[in-house]
Amino acid sequence: MPSLEEILAIARSVGWGASYLLRSYYYGENKDNLDIKDKQGSPVTSADLAVNRYILDRLQTNLGQEEFAYITEETYKSSTPQPTKSWVWIIDPLDGTRDFIDKTGEYTIHIALVKDGRPVLSVVAAPEAEKLYFATLGGGTFVETRDGNIQQVKVSQRHNMEEFTIVVSRSHRGKKLEKILSKLLCKKQKSVGSIGGKIAAIVEQQADVYISLSGKSAPKDWDLAAPELILTEAGGKLTHFDGTPLIYNKEDVSQWGGLIASNGECHDRLCAEAERILVQIENEAI
């Protein structure tokens, strides 16, 4: 099996290639051929499918399927048993499809390698920013620009909750989440599309907190596995409201309940506050 550094070099190359392919659907020769369809209440386009094929082909050609299993948003079926291998690639070829369609520019590509349920290698590409974030477990988080410049990135050290900026979705904001946000000390908000983009905003010190609360649906493994390692290796934290870590490649790929991503400062306090407010809201509804 290749070393983690060798695997990362492959994943970074795949991330850049996937970025260029997506931009061909955003601007270039494929821009008028998105073939938008509905998939369980969410849009899927020919760009999602083309990039999905590209990423799988490149990874499997270079790394094979003996050591590694592969889960992607576009190939996953709930009726299929989860891979039992220790090493699993978890991939979202286009996180933020609605933003891609609406031309907000806030879409990302997620490629994560998970070992025994936890991410050990991650690439998050932001095609419109022409940036690629990458991390390995214990190795820190770095951002690479199109010209090849690479710099390490770290989250902010802001520790006064009243000064925190919460990064939020333009959509997917249910009433319970709105109530939680309204009752927290941090009032400043920044709207960003994809989850990968939200986490990038935190590691770029443009924001400090992101909160997700599932309703009828929940974020999936491919939404979170790659961004999580980008955040934690930059010094941040991502946990459930009760402080427990996320586990990937379980029987259910949905990450139910409340999740908090932060710069790590006051993380336990944020979790406790969100949990307390959620219980209060649910009790008021009884």
Collapsing DSSP to helix, strand or coil, 101 comes out as helix
Rg (CA), the chain: 18
- Please report, in range form, the residues annotated as the binding site for Mg(2+): 73, 92, 94-95, 223
CA distance 71 to 91: 6
Residue owning tokens 């889960």:
71
CA distance 211 to 271: 10
- Please report, in range form, the residues annotated as the binding site: 73, 92, 94-95, 223
Going 103 to 125 to 25 to 75, the CA torsion angle's sign is negative
- Tokens read off for 7: 């695997």
The count of other CB atoms within 10 Å of the CB of residue 74 is 19
